[in-house]
């Protein structure tokens, strides 16, 4: 969709729909022409609109404005709206309009008090409006009709040059989140490790500052990535490490490392059948890395970023790892693999070591749909945030609060480490039934002792299960890109 900012007088502003968000507590805005205000007041007085949260009412051919329709949107009974409620309302309105005839919609910014500034409203507002318009129709034999809505304008009384930039940023983040969702939604027969490698190469051709390197499964094995190889070798699809380096600045890079299990059967420790199809999303961490790279490239951020995706398919064939196998990781530490379904930490630990050895990053953040235990602990609203550095952990949590893509802090205490003790190797790959998300994080911590590191367990947030809304969510692209934009602004 196309986004614009306008302060053209409303009697002159041509549009198919003027959206007027209204709370039942506040009076009609001064910015509306008198005639329009009278029409709306009469409508409200007649009982057709109360302002209840989520209520929507249409008025056709309204007096006083050039637009052909008004859409009144109920915002509840508070005089000031919090940011997240504002975004939810915008998303719902955008979804509603996707199904209607309007081609150009205008959102009035001045009718509501929101506890965020206008820049934020336009930036995050553009993002959620665009995210709500997302569709995934690639696999339908008849392409469904495209939405009529093509243009979205944020209107406010005074001109403000900063808002155009804010809208651009929001759109770039939405583009990253859409890429993450596309990759997540692709079926696992088409989206396999080398397919992801191809998509990375494509990005490398698209953006000048981005270079892409692929480490094949055989090369990874030769280099000593025994843990990564132990997962990849059970599939006829070759695994690979995908390295995308974006050079918008010199100096030590920041690094993102994504879990890219394109399908997780559990391996020999086979998963139960119910909902196993959802394990196509087990590359959600990798998808969010791809999406963040895209946003960074679109915004030409002045940062140095090294993104690594550990891509493999976890399958149970004759070459697959057995429970009890012991492997040597790239770090030199050995791992007894007691459960082949705890494969995410195995591919990630070698990717973490690789990026530290090769690129000497100042900060490493890994992102993974790592544990079912995380879904039990936090549900689907917050992703788990672990860090060995309080400042980094807080920076990610803050990026989450700012965008609504929220995280919640989790402990990385040494007390948990003994759950990973193995009688035969340096460690085992599972920590028992207690604190499953925490012990998984503690496993990874053993491979990130000497660097500022954070780990996001996104098992509950990367996709929506079942129902009509089933699909990849694009999270945590908003959190990650906000963190990176803040980093760029700090210089």
Q: Does 315 bind ligand BES (CB under 6 A)?
A: no
CA triple 378-78-408, angle to 5 deg: 15
Choose between 99 and 466: whose C-beta lies nearer to ligand BES. 466
Active site residue 205: no
Q: Does 336 bind Zn ion (CB under 5 A)?
A: no
The CA distance from 40 to 73, in Å, is 12
Choose between 23 and 288: whose C-beta lies nearer to ligand BES. 288
Active site residue 271: yes
Interface with ligand BES (CB under 6 A), residue from 16, 313, 336, 343: 343
Q: Does 184 bind Zn ion (CB under 5 A)?
A: no
User: How near is the Cβ of 294 to ligand BES at its closest, in Å?
Assistant: 24
Reading the block at residue 26, the tokens are 């506040």
**In 3D, which of 46, 43, 110 has the Cα closest to residue 70?**
43
**In 3D, which of 44, 379, 76 has the Cα closest to residue 84?**
76
Q: Which stretch binds Zn ion (CB under 5 A): 23-31, 253-261, 346-354, 441-449?
A: 253-261
Q: Does 313 bind Zn ion (CB under 5 A)?
A: no
User: How near is the Cβ of 455 to Mn ion at its closest, in Å?
Assistant: 16
Q: What is the DSSP letter of 35?
A: H
Q: Does 430 bind ligand BES (CB under 6 A)?
A: yes
User: How near is the Cβ of 259 to Zn ion at its closest, in Å?
Assistant: 7
Choose between 240 and 279: whose C-beta lies nearer to Mn ion. 279
Q: Does 267 bind ligand BES (CB under 6 A)?
A: no
Phi, psi (deg, nearest 5) at residue 442: -65, -35
Contact 361, 307 (CB under 8 A): no
Interface with Zn ion (CB under 5 A), residue from 16, 131, 182, 264: 264
Binding residue count for ligand BES, defined by CB under 6 A: 16
Q: Of these residues, 345, 446, 475, 482, which one is catalytic?
A: 345
The CA distance from 461 to 85, in Å, is 19
Q: Does 442 bind ligand BES (CB under 6 A)?
A: no
Q: Does 282 bind Zn ion (CB under 5 A)?
A: yes
DSSP 351-417: HHHHHHHHH--SEEEEEE---HHHHHHHTTT-EEEEESSHHHHHHHHHHHHHHT--EEE----GGGG
Q: Under 8 Å CB-to-CB from 238, ≥6 apart: which residues?
A: 193, 194, 216, 217, 232
Q: What is the DSSP letter of 303?
A: -
Applying CB under 5 A, the residues found at the interface with Zn ion are 261, 264, 282, 344
Applying CB under 6 A, the residues found at the interface with ligand BES are 264, 282, 339, 341-344, 369-373, 375, 430, 436, 459
Q: Could you give the residue numbers annotated as active site?
A: 271, 345
């Amino acid at each position: 969709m196309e986004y614009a900012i306008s302060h053209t007088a409303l009697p002159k502003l041509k549009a198919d729909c003027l959206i007027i968000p209204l709370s039942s507590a506040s009076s009609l805005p001064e910015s509306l022409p008198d005639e329009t205000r009278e029409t709306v007041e009469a409508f409200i007085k007649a009982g057709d609109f109360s302002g209840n949260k989520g209520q929507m009412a249409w008025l056709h051919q309204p007096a006083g404005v050039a637009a052909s329709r008004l859409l009144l949107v109920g915002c509840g009974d508070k005089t000031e709206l919090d940011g997240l409620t504002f975004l939810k309302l915008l998303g719902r309105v955008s979804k509603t309009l996707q199904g209607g005839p309007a081609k150009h919609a205008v959102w009035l910014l001045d009718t509501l008090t929101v506890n965020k500034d206008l820049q934020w409203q336009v930036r995050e507002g553009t993002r959620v409006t665009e995210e709500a318009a997302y569709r995934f129709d690639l696999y339908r034999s008849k392409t469904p009709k495209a939405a009529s809505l093509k243009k979205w304008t944020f209107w406010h009384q005074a001109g403000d040059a900063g808002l155009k930039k804010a809208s651009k940023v929001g759109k770039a983040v939405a583009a990253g989140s859409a890429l993450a969702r596309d990759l997540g939604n692709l079926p696992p027969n088409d989206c396999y490790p080398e397919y992801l490698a191809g998509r990375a190469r494509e990005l490398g051709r698209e953006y000048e500052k981005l270079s892409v390197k692929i480490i094949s499964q055989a090369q990874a094995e030769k280099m000593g990535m025994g843990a990564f190889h132990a997962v990849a070798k059970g599939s006829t699809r070759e695994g690979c490490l995908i390295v995308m380096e974006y050079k918008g600045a010199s100096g030590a890079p920041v690094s993102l490392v994504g879990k890219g299990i394109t399908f997780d059967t559990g391996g020999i420790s086979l998963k139960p059948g119910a909902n196993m199809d959802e394990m196509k999303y087990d590359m959600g961490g990798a998808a969010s890395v791809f999406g963040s790279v895209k946003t960074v490239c679109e915004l030409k951020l002045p940062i140095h970023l090294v993104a690594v995706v550990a891509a493999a398919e976890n399958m149970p064939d004759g070459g697959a790892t057995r429970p009890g196998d012991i492997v040597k990781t790239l770090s030199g530490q050995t791992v007894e693999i007691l459960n082949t379904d705890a494969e995410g930490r195995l591919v990630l630990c070698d990717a973490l070591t690789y990026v530290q050895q090769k690129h000497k990053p100042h900060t490493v953040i890994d992102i993974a749909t790592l544990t079912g235990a995380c879904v039990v602990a936090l549900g689907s609203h917050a992703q788990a945030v672990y860090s060995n550095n309080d400042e980094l952990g807080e920076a990610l949590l803050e990026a989450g609060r700012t965008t609504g893509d929220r995280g919640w802090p989790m402990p990385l205490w040494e007390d948990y480490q003994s759950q990973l003790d193995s009688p035969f190797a340096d460690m085992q790959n599972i920590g028992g039934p207690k604190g499953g998300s925490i012990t998984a994080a503690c496993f990874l911590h053993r491979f990130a002792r000497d660097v500022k590191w954070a780990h996001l367990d996104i098992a509950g947030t990367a996709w929506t299960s079942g129902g009509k809304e089933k699909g990849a969510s694009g999270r945590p692209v908003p959190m990650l890109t906000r963190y990176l934009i803040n980093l760029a602004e700090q210089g």
